[in-house]
């Protein structure tokens, strides 16, 4: 990797991964992992996903700034170690520390997940998508949707399926009313591993999309506000008003109307207000100020 001015980066960031053999495995992996974690990339020349994984894995390891080492083992030439570790499909990456396997994954994961895997071993990495994500989020917060979209697209160009970039770009599309495009984009996000939950950013973006789809069917604010003012027990109009207010970004008012329904008639429409409120929490994020405030109010009503 070269610096922006063309100067060479430090050697530990440019040296290619070492090829390990059955004979050298003890020295290159078991002994070396006494000093720092060592990742072993089990691959084969015929394996397409292995070729897809390698560049992202090498970039992430480079950003560890020498905290973790990477070696490669061709299982066609050296099948014994892979067999002993029970590896049945490739690419497979096993992390060794203090001479023992401590973690691993199988398949060509997105770069963000690879980085997360390494960060569990050695702490935060430099650079990578994290800095770009922060740049995109900052641009979106300042109202520069076009600038944020451009950065998200850059991230996805380098790491297709990166969950936070997919979610961020989808939210921009939702905000612009491009619901079909947002749905198509979210469908490109990697499926969670068996037994794992969906990435929180993707789940929140899906929730935001569902809310936007709901809002497109409930009509304008004024007639709904008039209906609620005329009859405070018109729960359906109040419910629709909450959905419309949420779509307009008025989170506190949206939550308050749903809380009012719960307060007046908790079981209305199979607890629709409570379920909708939980969907808002998912779309906003569990630590969003509006979520925290509404949860506090909900607890006061419930208990």
Does 128 score more than 70 pLDDT? no
Residue with tokens 């001479």: 99
Q: What is the pLDDT of residues 65-106, one digit of tens each?
A: 889 999 999 999 999 999 988 898 999 999 999 999 999 999
CATH number of 221-302: 1.25.40.10
Query: Which pTM was predicted?
Result: 0.56
Please give the average per-residue pLDDT across 111-119, as a whole number.
84
Is it the case that residue 31 has pLDDT exceeding 90?
yes
pLDDT of residue 14: 44
For residue 33, count CB atoms less than 10 angstroms from its CB and return exposed for 0-12, middle for 13-18, buried for 19 or more.
buried
| Residue 284 is a catalytic residue | no
Name the least confident of 5-14, 86-95, 258-267, 287-296: 5-14
Give yes or no for residue 146 having a pLDDT over 60.
Answer: yes
Q: CATH homologous superfamily of domain 128-214?
A: Tetratricopeptide repeat domain (1.25.40.10)
Q: Is the dihedral of CA 237, 243, 246, 247 positive or negative?
A: negative
pLDDT at 129: 65
Tokens standing for 83? 């067999």
Between 301 and 230, the more confident residue is: 230
> By percentage, how much of the chain surpasses pLDDT 90?
56
Extents of the domains making up the chain: 11-122, 128-214, 221-302
Predicted local distance difference test score (pLDDT) of residue 6:
35
Choosing from 38, 39, 50, 218, the catalytic residue is 50
Q: Do domains 11-122 and 128-214 have the same CATH topology?
A: no
Identified catalytic residue from 47, 114, 155, 201: 47
List the structure tokens of 105.
């994954």
* Overall fold of domain 11-122: Glutaredoxin (3.40.30)
Does the active-site annotation cover 5?
A: no
| Predicted local confidence at residue 10, as pLDDT | 35
């Amino acid at each position: 990797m070269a610096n922006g001015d063309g100067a060479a980066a430090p050697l530990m960031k440019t040296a290619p991964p070492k090829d390990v053999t059955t004979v050298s495995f003890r020295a290159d992996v078991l002994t070396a992992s006494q000093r720092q974690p060592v990742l072993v990339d089990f691959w084969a020349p015929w394996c397409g996903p292995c070729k897809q994984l390698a560049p992202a894995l090498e970039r992430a390891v480079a950003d560890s700034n020498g905290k973790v080492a990477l070696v490669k083992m061709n299982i066609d030439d050296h099948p014994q170690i892979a067999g002993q570790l029970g590896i049945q499909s490739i690419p497979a990456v096993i992390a060794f520390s203090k001479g023992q396997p401590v973690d691993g994954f199988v398949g060509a994961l997105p770069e963000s997940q690879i980085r997360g895997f390494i960060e569990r071993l050695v702490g935060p990495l430099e650079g990578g998508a994290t800095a770009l994500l922060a740049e995109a989020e900052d641009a979106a917060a300042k109202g520069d949707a076009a600038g944020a979209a451009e950065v998200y697209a850059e991230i996805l160009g380098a790491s297709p399926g990166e969950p936070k970039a997919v979610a961020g770009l989808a939210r921009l599309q939702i905000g612009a009313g491009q619901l079909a495009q947002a749905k198509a984009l979210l469908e490109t996000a990697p499926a969670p591993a068996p037994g794992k939950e969906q990435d929180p950013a993707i789940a929140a973006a899906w929730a935001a999309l569902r809310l936007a789809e709901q809002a497109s069917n409930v009509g304008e604010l004024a007639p709904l506000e008039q209906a609620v003012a005329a009859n405070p027990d018109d729960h359906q109009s109040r419910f629709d008003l909450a959905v419309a207010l949420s779509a307009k970004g008025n989170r506190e008012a949206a939550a308050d109307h749903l809380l009012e329904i719960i307060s007046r008639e908790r079981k209305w429409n199979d607890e629709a207000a409570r379920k909708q409120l939980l969907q808002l929490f998912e779309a906003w994020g569990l630590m969003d100020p509006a979520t925290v405030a509404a949860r506090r109010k909900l607890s006061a009503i419930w208990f």
